[in-house]
Amino acid sequence: MLLRRMLPIAVSVALLAGCGGPAEDSLEGRADSGSLTIGIRFDQPGLAQRRIDGKFVGFDVDVAKFIAADLGVDEKRISWVEARSADREKMIMSGAVDFVVATYSITDKRKQQVAFAGPYFETGQGVLVRYTDDEITGPDKLNGKNLCSVSNSTSAQKVVDEFAQGVRLVEYGQYSDCVTALLAGNVDAVTTDEVILAGFAAANPELLKVVGPKFSTEKYGVGLPKDDVQGRAKVNGAIDKMISSGEWTRSFERNIGQSGIEVPDPPRITEQ
267 within domain boundaries: no
- Indicate whether 118 and 235 sit together in one domain: yes
Backbone angles phi, psi at 108, to 5 degrees: -60, -35
Q: Which of 196, 211, 226 is the last residue of a domain?
A: 211
178 within domain boundaries: yes
- Indicate whether 116 and 131 sit together in one domain: no
- Indicate whether 103 and 92 sit together in one domain: yes
- Indicate whether 148 and 195 sit together in one domain: yes
Q: Count CB atoms within 10 A of the CB of residue 182.
A: 24
For the chain, percent helix, then strand, then coil, each to nearest 5?
Answer: 40, 25, 35
Q: Which of 180, 211, 242 is the last residue of a domain?
A: 211
- Indicate whether 242 and 113 sit together in one domain: yes
Domain extent at residue 198: 125-211
For each of the chain's 272 residues, which pLDDT tens digit applies? 444 444 444 444 434 444 455 666 789 989 999 999 999 999 899 999 999 999 999 999 999 999 999 999 999 999 999 998 889 999 999 999 999 999 999 999 999 999 999 999 999 999 999 999 999 999 999 999 999 988 767 787 788 788 877 889 899 988 899 999 999 999 999 999 998 998 898 888 899 999 988 888 889 999 999 999 999 999 999 999 999 999 999 999 888 877 767 788 999 999 98
1 within domain boundaries: no
| Cβ 196 vs Cβ 175: under 8 Å | yes
128-160 tens-digit pLDDT: 999 999 999 999 999 999 999 887 677 877 887
- Indicate whether 238 and 227 sit together in one domain: yes
183 within domain boundaries: yes
75 within domain boundaries: yes
- The Cα–Cα gap between 54 and 78 comes to 14
CATH number at residue 82: 3.40.190.10
Helix (H, G, I), strand (E, B) or coil at 67: helix
179 within domain boundaries: yes
- Indicate whether 36 and 95 sit together in one domain: yes
- Indicate whether 251 and 188 sit together in one domain: no
How many domains does the chain fold into?
Answer: 2
5 within domain boundaries: no
- Indicate whether 145 and 233 sit together in one domain: no
83-119 tens-digit pLDDT: 988 899 999 999 999 999 999 999 999 999 999 999 9
Nearest to 41 by CA among 175, 182, 208: 175
- Indicate whether 230 and 113 sit together in one domain: yes
- Indicate whether 110 and 242 sit together in one domain: yes
- Indicate whether 146 and 179 sit together in one domain: yes
Q: Which of 172, 196, 211 is the last residue of a domain?
A: 211
| Cβ 258 vs Cβ 202: under 8 Å | yes
| Cβ 195 vs Cβ 101: under 8 Å | no
171 within domain boundaries: yes
